Amino acid sequence: MHNHILIVAILAVVVLILWNIPAYLESKRSKVTVLNQDYILLQNSSLLTKQTMFIPKMTIQFLKRRISLWPEKKQIAGLTVNVRSGITKRSFNIDYQKQADIDSVMKWYKE
Q: Predicted confidence band at 108 (pLDDT cuts at 50, 70, 90)?
A: very high
CATH number of the domain residue 13 falls in: 2.30.29
Model pLDDT for residues 18-64, shown as the tens digit of each residue: 777 776 777 677 788 898 999 999 888 776 778 888 989 998 888 99
CB neighbours (10 Å) of residue 36? 8
Residue 97, pLDDT > 80, answer yes
Confidence of residue 17 (pLDDT cuts 50, 70, 90): confident
Q: What is the mean pLDDT of residues 82-93?
A: 83
More confident residue, 70 or 53: 53
Residues in the chain: 111
- Domain range for residue 22? 2-110
51 neighbors 44 (Cβ within 8 angstroms): yes
Answer whether 82's CB lies under 8 Å from 91's CB: yes
Model pLDDT, residue 23:
67
> How many domains does the chain divide into?
1
